[in-house]
Chain A
Amino acid sequence: MNYDIVVIGGGPAGLASAIEAHKKGVSSILVIERDRELGGILQQCIHNGFGLHIFREELTGPEYAERFIEALKAMGIEYKLDTMVLEIGEDKCIKAMNEIDGFMSIKAKAIILAMGCRERTRGAIAIPGTRPAGVFSAGTAQRYLNMEGYMVGKRVVILGSGDIGLIMARRMTLEGAKVLAVAELMPYSGGLTRNIVQCLNDFDIPLLLSHTVTEIKGKDRVSSVVVSKVDAHMKPIAGTEVEYECDTLLLSVGLIPENELSKQAGVEIDPRTSGPIVNESMETTVEGIFACGNVVHVHDLVDFVTAESNRAGANAAKYVIESRKKAFSVINTYSNEGITYIVPQYIRFENLEDKFNLFMRVKKVYHNAKMVVKADGVTIKEFKKNHMAPGEMENLVLEKSLLNESIKSLTVEVIKEVV
């Protein structure tokens, strides 16, 4: 089998990139999805709040997905469901299999990686205690509840106040469960403030900041969990233990980009994002392999995934159509004081549009601060920020005219303003 572009993953990133590549003139496209339908994680995110940036209206996850699925089908873009990619080999040869076609070798001119991410598990954060049933990652519980129709528990403690944890606190409550508490290791929530209000405060669910689960008890099923306060170094404080009788513990303790295939393909991974290193075109360190969405870095809004994926799709199409190499002036991006990471990790001056974006996360909560962008140590732009938090991705828009070919580095730092 031969295609111009093969997209791995049929979630929001894969759908948007395939559609955009088609719009830019490539018609030989295949989307490979391992689930039974397209749409990815959006199909289980039945709550509203999606699409405010892209569609200027508030949609639920399935509604957002359906718009892209319909567009993909209307364009006649090919896709394969229930299909697992096993390997991306040299020369962009993809090995995949499913029940209908069996084993396939698919040759692509360009590949778009859009595999998304997976949830961190109990094992990843090493919670002590027994190993009973009733410990779920929040996303797994969400799929059980919203798609398969299984209620996962009646008395629930949630560890982690990321958005999935908050959304599940409300969802479990609506379906009749008692959510006793949401414990958060950090002194601030990782979720959006509006979710704390709508999902916790509305239902009088306590949010315990600087707390963590220090023991899971129960033989066959969870019977209780012990929650302790932590100190400034996030170590549990002896004597602060409170035991909650419950049958379920939900974990919302972070997402990890899923990059087994990327690594196999020789794509270089950024240890800070756990995703591929990409340039301004969302191209990885392997020529002709692009990446977008949560496989690159974890986003809080699907709208930003769509925007990023549009860029990946457009550039993959450009790569296939033009397929020419050029010498570029590479500018590396570096995160300085207060910044965890920046995507893209490098940009090529000649390839920049008039305006381009840098995406990043800050390390802690800031009020009345500014972000300073420097080119080779010289300040080129400043952004005033009333409020920044690690849970909310920052997006800085810069103009190409601020740069030139000889620049080697761009840095971003946070400066706390004296008020």
Chain B
Amino acid sequence: MAQKELICIVCPLGCHLTVEIDESKEQGIKVFGNKCPRGETYANKELTAPTRMLPTTVKIKNGILNRLPVKTEAPIPKEMIFPCMAVINEVEVEAPVKIGDVVIENILGTGVNIVATRTMTAK
């Protein structure tokens, strides 16, 4: 049986969680130290399929700024962060852009779009 320490990031309390993992059982994850049920959900997700939002920028031509802020429309698997960054950094868009415009569709087959997080007028 393995043990793991986690810090819950659901709310600002930041509970220190101890997780016991028993791989021989189907419901083999036990969580201790959480002050509310959300800690258990977080720990389960964090240990089985951790996801993160990815906010970053892309190059933009002819805009009032040199970079356009973008984000993943939904959280992506944690291990996809750097592969996605490599794709995003190859992209260049042209102003004008509207907030919510899709910059990259279904990035690397994750089913998640990269969208603009601001409107940018042309120079």
> B2 in the interface, Cβ–Cβ < 8 Å?
no
Residue interface mask B38-64, A partner, CB < 8 A = 1 = 000000000000001111110100001
Chain B residues bordering chain A, tally (CB within 8 A): 28
> B106 in the interface, Cβ–Cβ < 8 Å?
no
Please, which residues of chain A bring their CB within 8 A of the CB of B52?
A: 198, 202
> B33 in the interface, Cβ–Cβ < 8 Å?
no
- A192 and B12 within 8 A (CB): yes
Please, which residues of chain A bring their CB within 8 A of the CB of B81?
A: 174
- A193 and B71 within 8 A (CB): no
- B78 and A193 within 8 A (CB): no
CA distance A145 to B66 in the complex (A): 10
User: B25 → chain A, closest Cβ, in Å?
Assistant: 27
- B35 and A63 within 8 A (CB): no
Which of A47, A197, A386 touches B9 (beta carbons < 8 Å)? A197
CA distance A32 to B46 in the complex (A): 46
CA distance A60 to B55 in the complex (A): 8
Residue interface mask B66-103, A partner, CB < 8 A = 1 = 11010100000010011001000100000000010000
Interface segment, A10-18, A146-154, A261-269?
A: A146-154
User: B112 → chain A, closest Cβ, in Å?
Assistant: 14
CA distance A196 to B12 in the complex (A): 11
- B117 and A62 within 8 A (CB): yes
- B66 and A174 within 8 A (CB): no
Residue interface mask A70-86, B partner, CB < 8 A = 1 = 00000000000000000
> B104 in the interface, Cβ–Cβ < 8 Å?
no
Please, which residues of chain A bring their CB within 8 A of the CB of B89?
A: 175
9 more A-B residue pairs beyond the given contacts A48-B55, A63-B99, A387-B14, with a C-beta to C-beta distance below 8 A: A36-B64, A46-B117, A147-B65, A149-B67, A174-B81, A174-B85, A196-B7, A386-B13, A387-B12
B interface residue numbers (CB < 8 A to A): 7, 9, 12-14, 35, 52-57, 59, 64-67, 69, 71, 78, 81-82, 85, 89, 99, 117-119
